[in-house]
Amino acid sequence: MTALLLRDLKLSVRAGGGALIGVLFFMTVVAVIPFGVGPDLNLLSRIGPAIVWIGALLSALLGLDRLFQTEREDGSLDLLLMQEHPLVLTVLVKCLAHWLGNGLPLVIASPLLGLFMNMDEVAIGATMLTLLVGTPALTFIGAVGAAVAVALPRGGLLVSILVLPLAIPVLIFGVSASYAAVEDPAPFMPPFLILVAITMFFAVLGPLGAALALRNAGD
């Protein structure tokens, strides 16, 4: 299983791996916002956490469809399905590798993009923390969509649309926790803990659903 984790990490940084693509897309989305809404610094800092979160959500969805599709195209998926390791565990490891390769770079890039949005240190820190906790949930949810659409030739957009409704709660609680850190009356902990709960919930349910879909995708 460690071998699978290392291989997927290697693949994500080699040519065509998509780790850099996600970060570049994230930067593109967030960097054009100030040009669009104009140089109103107060407005930018007010919408900053939401924009950074939306950018991270979209970039996280970007590479998800390839999670199982590349494995299926070269036949590796057949061999992964045949092994004695429980398929749920295989899927979980693939999700972890995908998050380390694609999700973690987004978290690391977010403080820089926070500066673009004129956010203060507390807001940047809170956004980074909520992204760190929330983006794994996006990967786990996306894994189900990727597994369902594994046999479709152009499943990319379909996967995004399939998983978007499930990803909305992550966005809502991520953004509200980030705002709660900077705005006084709202408490930070409740939305943050709900975000943690969502991630843990989907860490169990996502691999289960994805494994079920892959088992029955036989062709």
Partner 1 sequence: MIKILMKVSSMRLLAENLSARRGEDLIFTDISFTLGAGESLVLAGRNGSGKSTLLRVVAGLLHPETGRVAWTSESSESGMRAAEACHYLGHRNAMKAELTVAENLAFWKSLFGDVDGGKGISPAEAAETVGLGGILHLPFGYLSAGQQRRMAFAKLLVAYRPVWILDEPTAALDVNAEGAFTGLINAHLAAGGIVLAATHQPLGLENAKELKMTGFAGVAEGRW
Residues making contact with partner 1 (CB under 8 A): 1-4, 6-7, 10-11, 14-17, 73-76, 78-84, 218-219
| C-alpha–C-alpha distance, residues 155 and 161, integer Å | 10
Q: Which is nearer to partner 1, 26 or 94 (CB)?
A: 94
Count, residues in the chain: 219
Measured from the CB of residue 209, what is the shortest distance to partner 1 in angstroms? 19
Measured from the CB of residue 20, what is the shortest distance to partner 1 in angstroms? 14
Q: Hey, how many other C-beta atoms are within 10 angstroms of the C-beta on 217?
A: 16
Measured from the CB of residue 73, what is the shortest distance to partner 1 in angstroms? 7
Q: Which is nearer to partner 1, 8 or 181 (CB)?
A: 8
Q: Hey, how many other C-beta atoms are within 10 angstroms of the C-beta on 120?
A: 12
Measured from the CB of residue 94, what is the shortest distance to partner 1 in angstroms? 12
CB 146 within 8 A of CB 65: yes
Q: Which is nearer to partner 1, 40 or 78 (CB)?
A: 78
CB burial of residue 175 (10 Å; 0-12, 13-18, 19+)? buried
Measured at the CA of 146, the angle between CA 145 and CA 147, to 5 degrees, comes to 90
Q: Which is nearer to partner 1, 45 or 70 (CB)?
A: 70
